[in-house]
Structure 1
Amino acid sequence: MECILGIDVGTSNVKAVLFDGNGTEVQVASRESETINDGGNWEEQDMLLVWDKVKSCIKELIDSGAVKSEEIKGIGVTGQGEGCWLIDEEGNPVQNAILWCDGRAVAEVKRITEEYPEIGKLYHKTTGTPPLLGNQMILIRWMKTNRKEVLDKASRIMFCKDWVRYKMTGVIATEITDSFTSLLDAQTGNVADELMKAMDIYEYRDYIPASVSSDSVVGTISEEFAAWSGLAAGTPVIAGALDTSATAVGLGAIHEKDACVILGTTCASEIVMKKTDCKFGAENSRYEKHPIEDLYVELQPTLNGTPNIDWMLENMAQTKDFNEIDRIVESVPVGCGGVVYHPYISVAGERAPFYHPYARASFFGISQVTTRNQLIRAVYEGISLSIRDCLQNIDKDATIYLAGGGAKSPVWAQMIADVMGRRVMIPQGKELGAKGVAIIAGVKFGLYGSYEEAVKKACTFRQTYEPNLQRTKKYDLLYELFRQVRLHNQQIWDYRHQMNKKIQAIKED
């Protein structure tokens, strides 16, 4: 049986998945990831520990005997994007990886958006992405300002999946969907040299490996790793793709105007489009490269997705049974009695569809008759309305492909269909990011004749939700309130941040 191995190195979990030619998950191995938080807004991971977890997953798959190692035609890797993964000349980490959801670089973002706005505009227009806290170029600037001695010990800067692929093959490379997040000129595909000069970090230009296409074979499984893992030495490994871009392929979103939402740690909302339709530098715009050569993605990846649900379960609900939570949510009418929840729960604020480092979650409209169940539903509605906030440019006839852990809830899927007023489709299988890179590898190695054939064969759907248009009318009204409160809170979030600093400065006896 011919198989492709897809590896997904997420923020919360690491997974290795074997897929057959029909896109069926033959075997899955997973490990929980461990994130290091300093108690504030710093988020890091131990690079060696991440690699150990990937190794463990791969070895579990091979040891299971589900397939013979020589039946694996190729390997693709996807993973969390952005952040700062640095290695020295010997290929060893020089520090923990700084993650995409890290909030430490506030001063750097402020500098190029407020003090030197011409640089901020150059950044947005050049890369297609506005200056954001977790962007790799922003973090290089933070490292130069705050940890130059560590930065100077490095020789290469990577992304998460590139680190894992390097450890499997011994080859250093990065690819375009990851590099496109902040390092490349969106018009040319070359490293954004002029922007690096404007940000005074051009001295680290050689740290950036050359970017290749997602389907490029960048190396093969090394003899050393083959001997340890049981994989066949020489098995080809493609460059892979950023997790959100890979998931789009895994969902079958390979055509212009296709839309998808990944309900995970980040709620990533995507619309596939041609380059000619991208408006690089336009307000609230953010574009990434699709793995297929001539396509791009309008991407709005919030910092705040399912962690809102985790917080609600831990601090508000009286059960952690999701079936019971679904029954509670379904029992409450649309609008939760006038309560609106804004889901900006990350310590780093929010980045999509707006940027604010001090944005915070809140309930609006609570009164003495507000119930616990209304608050629980409001959390789900708040995330759903945030998705609508991110998909303002969606085509009126588009179908939304829904993936991620949150897609397991039929009540939430129906709510999103109602909020958006569009059909929502749930795919078969769970590991859509790994499936995406498996499809890319499958096309590369001849398992499929084309992406069209691959999607037709490997991307099937288990459930379709049609919108209740009467509920959509209610959500149209609720969305306007959601958005107005969000806009008015901008100054309040700034005020709260300054107040907290003053409170912390007061020493009690």
Structure 2
Amino acid sequence: MKYILGIDAGTSNVKAVLFDECGNEVCVSSMESRTANGTANQMEQDMDLIWEKVKQCVKGAIEEGTGIHDEVIAVGVTGQGEGCWLIDSEGNPVQNAILWCDGRAVDEVKAITDDHPEIGRRYHTTTGTPPLLGNQMILLKWMKNNRREILDQAEHLIFCKDWIRYKMTGEIRAEITDSLTSLVDVRSGAIAKELMEALDIYEYRSYLPEPVRSDQVVGAVLDSFADEVGLKRGTPVIAGALDTSATAVGLGAIHEKDVCVILGTTCASEIVLKKEDCHFGAENTRYEKHPLGNLYVELQPTLNGTPNIDWMLENIALTKDFDEIDRIVDRTPVGCGGVVYHPYISVAGERAPFYHPYARASFFGISQVTTRDHLIRAVYEGISLSIRDCLQHVDKSGTIYLAGGGAKSPVWAQMIADVTGMKVMIPAGEELGAKGVALMAGVSQGLYRDYDDAAGKACTFKHIYLPDPPNVEKYDFLYELYRKVRIHNQEIWDYRHQMNKKIKAIKED
């Protein structure tokens, strides 16, 4: 039996997973990631600490799989995307990594979208992604404007998985799924030189490595790393992929019009498309590269996924037992008596299917008959309605491949089927991002003939949920209310932001 190691460095957790050739999770080692908050809208992580946790996880997975380390044929790495991961000429971080969910670059986005809309339009049509707070291109501009002395100490600007792969192999490389989030011209596949010039950051072009194919072998594990964690010396390492793109492969979403939803820190909805069917620059669109060939992903990655559940457990529920929470949600009527929750709880606002840096979560429709149970279910419904918002143009006759921590809840999976009107399928296994890069590594080594062969052998499903027609009809009405309120709230969010600035400016006696 052959084995593949998949590493997934997410925002909340770092994981190392050993897979057999049938896609089974043989060993899983996980550690929680620590996020350092600066001011209220700043999210960072210690790059060296992330690397130490990766090493511990890899060592833990290899030790748990006693006797099989010589059969590990390749390594794939995935991780959180975007953000700003800077290293110097010696390969050392020059500061904490600024994360994709960071909200500090509001002025830079405003300057592009409001003050110079022609640059904003060029940004969107060139990269396939609108100017957003966590984009690496935007954060590079923020660094130049605010921390130039630190930026000038760096030599390379990379992504999370690239940092980990560099520490494993000593090779500094980039790959296309991460780079295409905001750095690459979607039509040529090259770094967007003209856009960098328009943003006055072209002087840092040398910081950006040229992107390579996701399943390309870019190095081998260093002897020192192999000996420390128990891997075989010379084990090949592929370029890997952005976590959302890797998860699509891990789910078997490798064909045109496949749809998958990842219920995690970000709630990412993905539609797989051919390049010729993409509408780069169209309103409320965001495209990223699928790891395979000519395929792209129309991505609607909300900033606000399971952190809404975390907040609800901490501040509303009287239990943190998810089985009990499921029972509460299940016994509470659809629509929660007319209470609607908008799940925009991130300090950076929201980015999909609309952009607003000051969007905030809220309950609408509370009255004296509203109960704690209503509020709990409303949070789940709010996230589900947000998924529908992101998939509003998708054919309901299709299927959603549902992954992420939230997919463990059968009640929530059924709710998503009812809210969207689509069949929902839950994959076997849980580490779909790590599985995706493991399958890529397997293809690179000839373990699978191609990706259809890999998906056929390694992608299986354990549960299927069909939409319940009466509930679908109810959610059609609720969704209309959800959209009307969130559209109306955009002006109110702006007013709230200005009000808070004025309140802070008032000096106390």
Q: TM-score, normalised by structure 2?
A: 0.99
* Counterpart mapping for 1:60-71 below 5 A: 60-71=60-71
- Output the CA distance in 2 between the equivalents of 1:84 and 1:244: 18
- Output the CA distance in 1 between the equivalents of 2:87 and 2:393: 39
Residue matched to 1:150? 150
* Counterpart mapping for 1:237-248 below 5 A: 237-248=237-248
Q: CA deviation at 1:108?
A: 0.2
Do 1:79 and 1:242's aligned partners in 2 also have CA atoms closer than 8 Å? yes
Residue matched to 2:482? 482
Do 1:76 and 1:238's aligned partners in 2 also have CA atoms closer than 8 Å? yes
Task: Structure 1: give runs of 5+ residues left out of the alignment.
Answer: none
Residue matched to 2:136? 136
- Which stretch of the first structure deviates more once superposed, 224-233 or 45-54? 224-233
- Output the CA distance in 2 between the equivalents of 1:357 and 1:307: 17
Residue matched to 1:302? 302
Q: CA deviation at 1:152?
A: 0.5
- Output the CA distance in 2 between the equivalents of 1:67 and 1:498: 62
**Aligned AA (2:40):** G
Do 2:222 and 2:234's aligned partners in 1 also have CA atoms closer than 8 Å? yes
Do 1:215 and 1:240's aligned partners in 2 also have CA atoms closer than 8 Å? yes
Do 1:257 and 1:395's aligned partners in 2 also have CA atoms closer than 8 Å? no
- The alignment status of 1:279 with 2:279, answered yes or no, reads yes
Task: Structure 2: give runs of 5+ residues left out of the alignment.
Answer: none
Do 1:401 and 1:424's aligned partners in 2 also have CA atoms closer than 8 Å? yes
- Output the CA distance in 2 between the equivalents of 1:366 and 1:423: 31
* Counterpart mapping for 1:25-424 below 5 A: 25-424=25-424
Q: CA deviation at 1:64?
A: 2.5
SS of the residue 1:86 aligns to: strand
- Output the CA distance in 1 between the equivalents of 2:343 and 2:161: 28
Q: CA deviation at 1:66?
A: 3.2
Do 2:304 and 2:350's aligned partners in 1 also have CA atoms closer than 8 Å? yes
Q: CA deviation at 1:505?
A: 1.5
Q: CA deviation at 1:67?
A: 4.1
Deviations 1:161-198 (A, max 9, x none): 00000000000001000000000000110000000000
Deviations 1:3-35 (A, max 9, x none): 000000000000000000100000000000000
SS of the residue 2:305 aligns to: coil
SS of the residue 1:153 aligns to: coil
The size of the alignment, in residue pairs, is 509
Identity among equivalent pairs (%): 74
- Output the CA distance in 1 between the equivalents of 2:201 and 2:299: 26
SS of the residue 2:18 aligns to: strand
- Output the CA distance in 1 between the equivalents of 2:190 and 2:132: 20
Q: CA deviation at 1:78?
A: 0.3
Residue matched to 2:432? 432
SS of the residue 1:22 aligns to: coil
- Output the CA distance in 2 between the equivalents of 1:237 and 1:395: 38
- Output the CA distance in 2 between the equivalents of 1:324 and 1:250: 30
Do 2:396 and 2:420's aligned partners in 1 also have CA atoms closer than 8 Å? no
Deviations 1:396-446 (A, max 9, x none): 321000000000000000000000101000010010000000011111111
- Output the CA distance in 1 between the equivalents of 2:305 and 2:205: 34
SS of the residue 1:462 aligns to: strand
Q: TM-score, normalised by structure 1?
A: 0.99
Q: CA deviation at 1:49?
A: 0.2
**Aligned AA (2:276):** T
SS of the residue 2:125 aligns to: helix
- Output the CA distance in 2 between the equivalents of 1:217 and 1:211: 13
Q: CA deviation at 1:39?
A: 4.3
- Output the CA distance in 1 between the equivalents of 2:65 and 2:11: 28
Residue matched to 1:465? 465
Deviations 1:216-257 (A, max 9, x none): 101000112122222112100000000000000000100101
Do 2:129 and 2:281's aligned partners in 1 also have CA atoms closer than 8 Å? yes
- Output the CA distance in 2 between the equivalents of 1:459 and 1:481: 38
**Aligned AA (2:360):** R
- Which stretch of the first structure deviates more once superposed, 460-469 or 392-401? 392-401
- Which stretch of the first structure deviates more once superposed, 366-375 or 220-229? 220-229
Q: CA deviation at 1:298?
A: 0.4
